[in-house]
Structure 1
């Protein structure tokens, strides 16, 4: 568990599944992400289980983002086997948009990844028209590298290396 200035970042647990599904599959959030393969609550449970395994095996996975005791999103580090690299990701409930929470969480995640885990590179990707997420990436000092296709969607890839982040 980590604390930022305004957020508590903690691993999601099974008891969070209903609140997580409501955030993750909210129509304004879901339009930027992969759709569920099954019922949203079942998909949320499966995602939380996948995150729990990653915490055990890699010492990182996305956290639940909590503000004033309320789940407002998820974010953190995520291993992406298709690319063999670690990404920083975020998704916030629309009520939490444009308040700097994604940047705040991502800074904590990059610090954790580079300082505590010793990662050499962390990337982020988003759909090309997701200007708010691209703005967060730019604020973090990430640089555009390439276009990719991920799970059938076109995306832009930005990244930052350990040396630049710690420099």
Structure 2
């Protein structure tokens, strides 16, 4: 079961059915969805995705997915899951544009990485980022991710694969 995580300013907790409108609004914002998966999809597809969070992901305990809240308001989405594309666990995160530029992305990414290392016992965590998404690339590099390889997508775009290894005590 997806646990509750807390940072200085954020609460990461499992979605509730009442979060559907906020989830759909987040994923329908092209400034956010352009960097998620294969990019923007229809509202119906985002609603179906939200439904699958409950009927598949939570019901079958497939991986951890969180609603990201600040001051009780849904401001983002986060997950960590095993992905064959990277041969390990990948973090996924998104914040609403009104939450950008205040360090919340760093706080969120660090919380998911720490959960992967400390709770899941992972030795390495990955992220995949579209090459033009410089804000996310800079954020991840700043918190210790390094470039592993590039993937050339079918549409000719490039996805960067990054990884961060657990720091071992000396």
Give me the TM-score of the superposition, normalised by structure 2: 0.83
Select the structure that is richer in helix: 1
Instruction: Show CA shifts across 1:102-154 (max 9, x none).
Output: 11011111111111111121111111111110111012101111002468652
User: 3-state DSSP class of the match of 1:57?
Assistant: coil
Instruction: Show CA shifts across 1:33-84 (max 9, x none).
Output: 22355x42442442452477445535x4231110011111112313223433
Contact 2:30 2:40 in 1 (8 A): no
Cα distance in 2 between the residues matched to 1:23 and 1:79 = 23
Which residue in the other structure is 2:123 paired with? Answer: 120
Q: CA RMSD in A?
A: 2.4
* Deviation of 1:17 (Å): 1.5
Among 116, 136, 139, the alignment partner of 1:136 is 139
* Deviation of 1:99 (Å): 1.0
Structure 1: 5+ residue stretches without partners: none
How many aligned residue pairs are there?
Answer: 164
State yes or no: 1:75 paired with 2:78.
yes
Structure 2: 5+ residue stretches without partners: none
Among 148, 159, 162, the alignment partner of 2:163 is 159
Cα distance in 2 between the residues matched to 1:101 and 1:16 = 20
Cα distance in 2 between the residues matched to 1:124 and 1:151 = 19
Cα distance in 1 between the residues matched to 2:169 and 2:21 = 38
Cα distance in 1 between the residues matched to 2:119 and 2:92 = 18
State yes or no: 1:8 paired with 2:11.
yes
Deviates more, 1:4-13 or 1:42-51: 42-51
